[in-house]
A and B are shown apart, each in its own frame.
Chain A
Amino acid sequence: MNRIYLDHNATTPVRPEVRDRMLPFLGELFGNPSSAHSFGQEVKPHLEEARQRIADQLGANPAQIVFTSGGTESDNMAVKGVAFAAEKGHIVTTVIEHPAVMQAVSWLVKKGFEATYIPVGSDGVVNPDDVKRALRPETILVSVMHVNNETGAIQPVEEISSITKEAGVPLHTDAVQSFGKLPTRVDDLGVDLMSIAAHKIYGPKGIGVLSIRKGTRIDPLIIGGAQEKRRRSGTENIAGIVGFGEATVLAEAEREQVYARLAALRRRFVTGLEASLTEVYVNGDAARTFPSTVSLSVSHVEGESMLLSLDMEGVAVSTGSACSSGSLEPSHVLVAMGMETVLAQGTLRFSMGRGTTEAEIDHVLEVFPPIVERLRKMSPLTRSQAC
């Protein structure tokens, strides 16, 4: 049975072109780019070429590009690094951020910083006016993600940036889900700090970037050998970096074409779901959703039991709730959108990618309704209490 992968927001397969580009750096090109000898010096241009490629994609100066171990480190560095440099102050963020931002902010609150969490509407989108109202004279950072990982909701980062610019407060965006998929030029979005990662765009895991606008006050998290202009020490993950550069160029070359394909696939999928199932709800506003993602809430059925049943059919998805990932709380994102707990527990995230086909979507539309029917028959909620 051919398996169908619909969890591209979690991670993506490394493209063969990317892997081929990386392989020499897991072989003969093993030198440390900081070394003065030929082994090091033959590697260094590849490091700088990758940096240039990513800088070009962001419309940034290569000097702004700091390589990290991934999106989580980039988010941590943005939030904690700005806080450490300011020593005290107030942070504005949202209730729908990735845990990497959310946990970094709540950790800082424990250390004496203050924070305001901006809510979202039922569409999962932040209102820029709320950001404006949350700003204080002592605000040191605003952090708002670009595209939400659970719902695909696109946040009004550009509008928020005109507010933060006026207030003179640095703006960070977690663009891990949008980089290589939507335009993410730092000047167009108006952000000072941007987190991105390779493995969401068919690059390797373990490599990310924090783009830092010149003049932004930020301390390093990881200190030591002064790599990355002292902003992030540690010998560079050169294979990962080269792979990230390659994945970036490849993603940009097909970005608009992939977007159009995903939009058509999403329409086909949503239409099919709504035609074959009652009491299912596609979360968010399609006009403000990146079309790879379908967040679907199904009444009377719990998410993990649907995930397992789909997995048995060879279809890989994830739950909107974090139940299967070890926590038993319903998704903070769906709850923030005002969804009732039981419905939040019955939410699946389907996330398509560049390789997703119509035939795969049609197959899911065939196997999914009977799964829901079977589990609904098993559920005590179907007829008794409508929670």
Chain B
Amino acid sequence: MSMYSEKVMEHFRNPRNVGEIENPDGVGEVGNAACGDIMKIYLKVEDDIIRDVKFQTFGCGSAIATSSMVTEMVMGKTLAEAEQVTNKAVAEALDGLPPTKMHCSNLAADALHAAIKDYREKHNK
């Protein structure tokens, strides 16, 4: 028995795309210690397509699972498509999160958007 869905636990157990990218094209970081969650997303972009995405997360089970899920959702997608991914969509892809986790631990899409913004600013796109 877990307070989380089976899908959350599966991503928590086997998170996808963990780590850093060397010389990333964009980096986004959100969250704060008071909330207990800090998420960092690294992007490798070619022709407006996300060729690689990795994450590092300090946080609870749902913070790690949402980070993992968002990387899986946007790998190989265009930046425009990735920008459409919302925190809500990430939570839904994980079959939902407990209500208390919806705010603090569901910031993975924000971290992704911050990384895309960083990429656009650095590359004038």
Contact = CB atoms under 8 A, between A and B. Distances in A.
Interface of A: 300-305, 308, 311-312, 321, 323-324, 326-330, 340-342, 345, 377-381, 387
A379 B60 contact: no
A133 to B, nearest CB: 31
Given A308-B12, A330-B36, A377 B18 contact: yes
B58 A379 contact: yes
A341 B18 contact: no
Contact of B56 (A324, A330, A379): A379
Nearest to A387: B33
Nearest to B60: A304
Interface string B1-18: 011100001001101001
A300 B56 CA distance: 11
A321 B38 contact: no
B87 interface: no
A138 B15 CA distance: 58
Task: Give the interface size class of chain B.
Answer: 20 to 34
B60 A302 contact: yes
B35 A308 contact: no
B58 A300 contact: yes
B57 A380 contact: yes
Given A302-B63, A305-B64, A379 B36 contact: no
B2 A311 contact: yes
Contacts, number: 70
Residue among B2, B9, B57 with max Cβ neighbours from chain A (10 Å): B57
A308 B61 contact: yes
B39 A323 contact: no
Given A305-B64, A308-B12, A378 B57 contact: yes
Interface in B28-50: 29, 33-40
A380 B64 CA distance: 12
B13 A328 contact: no
Contacts of B36: 302-304, 321, 323, 328, 330, 345
B76 interface: no
Chain B residues touching A, majority SS:
mixed
B61 A304 contact: yes
B59 interface: yes
Contacts of B9: 308
B104 interface: yes
Contacts of B100: 326-328
Interface of B: 2-4, 9, 12-13, 15, 18-19, 29, 33-40, 56-61, 63-64, 100, 103-104
A300 B103 CA distance: 22
Given A377-B18, A378-B15, A380-B38, A323 B60 contact: yes
B60 A378 contact: no
A378 B64 contact: yes
B104 A341 contact: no
Contacts of A379: 56-58
A302 B56 CA distance: 13
Residue among B13, B35, B57, B60 with max Cβ neighbours from chain A (10 Å): B60
Contacts of A342: 33, 58
A301 B59 CA distance: 7
26 contacts: A300-B58, A301-B58, A302-B37, A304-B36, A304-B59, A304-B61, A305-B60, A305-B64, A308-B2, A308-B9, A308-B60, A312-B13, A321-B36, A323-B60, A326-B100, A328-B36, A328-B104, A341-B34, A345-B36, A377-B19, A378-B15, A379-B57, A380-B38, A380-B40, A380-B56, A381-B58
Contacts of A312: 13
B34 to A, nearest CB: 6
A330 B34 CA distance: 7
Contacts of A303: 36, 60
A169 to B, nearest CB: 36
A305 B103 CA distance: 17
Nearest to A328: B104
A381 B59 CA distance: 11
Contacts of B19: 377
B28 to A, nearest CB: 11
B102 to A, nearest CB: 11
B59 A305 contact: yes
Contacts of A311: 2
Nearest to B41: A380
Closest 4 CB pairs of A and B: A304-B60, A380-B56, A380-B40, A342-B33
Given A305-B64, A308-B60, A380-B38, 15 more contacts: A302-B37, A302-B59, A302-B63, A304-B36, A305-B60, A324-B60, A330-B34, A341-B34, A377-B18, A378-B15, A379-B56, A380-B39, A380-B57, A380-B58, A381-B58
